[in-house]
A and B are shown apart, each in its own frame.
Chain A
Amino acid sequence: MAMIAVFLNIDEERMVAALQEAARSLESGQGEAVLDFSSVHRIDSSGLRAMEDFARIADEKAVKVVLRGVKIDVYKVLKLVKLTRRFLFVN
């Protein structure tokens, strides 16, 4: 079972800051980063950019990113900008 390196509840209002903070705390090769999106109902362009940056940093540090509880409307946005392949999704 993979070790959880980061577990973060994402707050829609503070998404960018939270992701930036989480990205800074990622350490190389340390298991999974789990981001709980249960309370995110909508994502904007800056949120998407932060997600992409987070995914890139996680890639560089060989950390898997797991998104939990992603609402379907948000999932569709991630799909349209081709970000879904960068994450694992769990309910």
Chain B
Amino acid sequence: MITTEAVKERVQIPLVTETLSTERTGYLDGLVGQAKTAAAVFTQFTQEDVDRIVKPMVLAALEQAQYLARLAVEETKLGVMEDKVIKNMVASEFVYNYIKDKKTVGVIREIRERNLLEIAEPIGVLFSLTPITNPTSTVLFKCIMAIKTRNAVIFSPHPKAWHCCSEAVRIMYEAAVKHGAPEGVFTCLESPTLPDNAYLMRHKDVGLIDATGGPGMVKAAYSSGKPALGVGPGNTPVYLEKTADVNTAVVDIIVSKTFDNGTICASEQTVVIDDEIYDAVLNKFMDLGAHICNEKETRLLERTVIDPQTGFMQPMAVGQKAADIARFVGLSVKPNTKLLIAPIHGVGPDHPLSVEKLFPVLAVYRAKSVEEALRVCVDVNHAGGLGHTAVVFSRNDEIIRKFGEVINAGRIIVNSPGSIGALGAVYNDLVPTFSFGCGTGGGNSTTDNVNIYHYLNIKRLARRTQTHMWFRVPNQIYFNMNAVENLRQFPSRCTIVITNAPLEQIGHVEIVRRHICSKTHVHVVVIPDAEPEVKVITQGVEALNFYKADQIIALGGGSVIDAAKIMKLKYESPEADLEYLAAPFLDLRKRVVQYPTDKINRARLIAISTTSGTGSEVTPFAVLIDKEHGRKVTLADYSLTPDVAIVDPQFVMSMPKGLTADTGIDCLTHALEAGVSNYASSYTDANAMQAIRLVFKYLPIAYEHPRDEEARCMMHNAACIAAMAFSNASVGLNHALAHAFGARFGIAHGRANALMLPHVIAYNASVPTKFMPSPYTKGYVAHKKYATVADLLGLGGHTTEEKVKNLITATEHLLDQLAFPRSIAEMGISKEEFERAVPELVSIAFDDPSWRSNPRMPLMGEMVELFWKAYEGRGAAKPATVSQQQTV
């Protein structure tokens, strides 16, 4: 609460302690030491121990409520004895009712679904300053909260309320210790002074300052360098809107503003009344015992109760009766006048009564519109009441919400009394309190009603969560020779076949046509045999729209299938912004950008692959070339995954040897990288391992004997199976490096992968310089998984190290069988040219999202080394050995 006196006394709390004698600091240190010991002993208490103490304390407070109220009024000369009794009872009974079943010791909450435990840790020693306006109730409240939370408190009451407060502390202490609380758990500073407060606020063994009082004290608390709960002044605006129940509103305001003669800082200060009801409201106030001041009386009142120098209320008026104030001011009012009401015409220094008045004087303002009313309320709120309390009376929910939005107050009380409403648990479900957090607007750290949880350090025990994973593939996959015949299962009114010219020329399109449901209108869109460009997509979408297609068949390699995926996306959701959808992300489940779910068209996408490598027929990825801006746009979302995949080897029987080798090694790289990926799961492992086995067995045969149906079939399946693995586990560093230098030197993707592969296996199998954070894996397992692959392939070896070595040798042997170059140098790239390119290659590779799931986090320097190893060639690649690289 703010009073001039309080401001004078509290604002200038010294930040140094020269004024304290050694004897005094010894006394203060002794108090802290005693409290510290009590707090330490208290840490051993159980919830039952604590609750056994709290209840008798509350009963003692209730028993002494009248005694303490009388003491407070006698000593402070503020407020109303009967109301202070109520305050003491609320501070004990209502607070007890709120806290009695709350857990404040040990585990206080278990959030099973989040694998979290919240555990309470007491703060230790609290230094608590209490106000003159609500002295004993605040002490009772804080003592009860402190015991419930196992803290010790040193009280420094307002000097003019010391006696009643020290009695309250004594009563609480005796009740607590009698029922087992540690000795010294509460102490009350003898003859507290400002230097005492400053000293204790900075004491190393004080854990928290709990300052309820004026702004100076709150500021001093926050400036001390200690954690502080500082709550301070208010200036409560009230909007009495025309739809309100006038009778209820007027009674509530009188109840609140006269309660303890207006000493609660949440009490109403200025009531802004809609023009339509203004006269009726004032008449009702008069009927119920208020005196409405005329202009002259208002001037007289403001000159007397507001200090013209500071603009704050005069201390002599605080907590006094309306009739007494009127007499002092020289107003002629009825003896039982409850409230003095002064009409004002604005807010600010020219309208002195628009500030906080902790006595039964209320300003009223006549507003011509809702806008004006809200504006005046905002002005009052900003005239010393930020963060504190505001009140609205209305039946219009829209206006109530608007009021809540525009007013900055920790408590916005609706259709009920401000002061008692803000205390909580009487008129509403706010937490009962005697300390109002005022948020940053009031220079506080909280807007809460201060409660037991502010007296605790709440620790969160976070168990490792078994993160949910996924395995998503097309609904239907048809495989093996003549699988294309299954096309007839899919009824369609109009089908568009997306393909490229060579496939049409060799008759593949005709084969597909033959198996499409009869009665289906089939149209073929031939696109270039290259990564799709924006204009290609546009043309395809135009065709889809023109024919109103309900089915798309993508017949081709990765580029054709990618194009079809994007065409489908744009056909179904024309508003989809491809550049926006390509925004980078780290975790698919937490990505910022969401793919559209509103679709104006629907088309089934059937992908028929004609190469055995990319596996695009089952993946959720698509790459687009944006020639206009000279870049690749990579789209990734499971909504891109084709609905149906057909893996029919008849379409790959004519693949040339080079393409067979390149796509086959691309497939192997997919499987190996998915196998050791940080996103790998048992589901993806099953696919990855099987794909690796198939590649090692059948790729050399398919390469040497292209017409071998079994080898072609198995390699075609392997590509699809590997793609199912990496669609869900992602790829790794090999792909990031291969993307960079493949693009830079125009090297086919599979070939670029091949040049890196042995080196990346050796790299991933050794102890990482930097581990990759991954909630999906336990420990570092890449080397063990490579060893498992070696076992699966029957490569021999006794130790993990030997098995990794054998896998690398087998991979190199496979690459030799497929006649891959052994080094980048063999590709005709000069050392100088490569040296010039490496920095940029590393930069590009580092930006490539592919390595984010790599088991080992690559450092840029390590990428440089890997590029040079690949440049120099496989002969230089050694599996991890103890002497060269420590194995895990």
Contacts and interface: CB of A to CB of B under 8 A. Distances in A.
Interface string A33-57: 0000000011111101100000000
Interface string A53-79: 000000000000000000001101100
Contact of B37 (A42, A45, A73): A45
A3 interface: no
A41 B183 CA distance: 18
Given A45-B37, A48-B37, A77 B184 contact: no
Interface string B482-509: 0000000000000000000000000000
Given A73-B43, A80-B43, A45 B36 contact: no
Interface string B568-586: 0000000000000000000
Contacts of A80: 36, 39-40, 43, 124
Given A44-B182, A45-B184, A81 B44 contact: no
Contact of A43 (B36, B38, B44, B183): B44
Contacts of B41: 43-45, 48, 77
Contacts of B124: 80
A12 B39 CA distance: 19
B38 A45 contact: yes
Nearest to B122: A80
Interface string B118-141: 000000100000000000000000
B39 to A, nearest CB: 7
B44 A77 contact: yes
A45 B43 contact: no
A61 B37 CA distance: 26
Contacts of B43: 73, 76-77, 80
A10 B172 CA distance: 33
Contacts of A77: 40-41, 43-44
Interface in B28-62: 36-41, 43-44
A41 B38 CA distance: 17
Nearest to B40: A80
Contacts of A43: 41, 44
A42 B44 contact: yes
Given A80-B39, A81-B37, A45 B183 contact: yes
B33 to A, nearest CB: 9
Nearest to B39: A80
A77 B39 CA distance: 9
A24 to B, nearest CB: 24
A79 to B, nearest CB: 8
A73 B106 CA distance: 12
B40 A81 contact: yes
A45 B44 contact: no
Contacts of A76: 40, 43
B40 A48 contact: yes
Contacts of A49: 37
A84 to B, nearest CB: 11
A72 B39 CA distance: 16
Interface in B295-342: none
Contacts of A48: 37, 40-41
Nearest to B49: A42
A49 to B, nearest CB: 8
Contacts of B182: 44-45
Contacts of B38: 45
B154 to A, nearest CB: 16
Contacts of A81: 36-37, 40
Interface in B141-186: 182-184
Nearest to B34: A45
Nearest to A80: B40
Most chain B CB within 10 A, of A45, A49, A76, is at A45
A61 to B, nearest CB: 25
B679 to A, nearest CB: 40
A17 to B, nearest CB: 18
Contacts of A46: 183
A74 B41 CA distance: 9
A80 B124 CA distance: 9
Contacts of B40: 48, 76-77, 80-81
Contacts of A73: 43-44
A76 B42 CA distance: 11
B817 to A, nearest CB: 63
Given A45-B38, A80-B39, A81-B37, A74 B183 contact: no
Nearest to B36: A81
Given A42-B44, A48-B40, A81-B40, 18 more contacts: A41-B44, A43-B41, A43-B44, A44-B41, A44-B182, A45-B41, A45-B182, A45-B183, A46-B183, A48-B37, A48-B41, A76-B40, A77-B41, A77-B43, A80-B36, A80-B43, A81-B36, A81-B37
Interface of A: 41-46, 48-49, 73-74, 76-77, 80-81
Interface of B: 36-41, 43-44, 124, 182-184
14 contacts: A42-B44, A43-B44, A45-B183, A45-B184, A46-B183, A48-B41, A49-B37, A73-B43, A73-B44, A77-B40, A77-B44, A80-B39, A80-B43, A80-B124
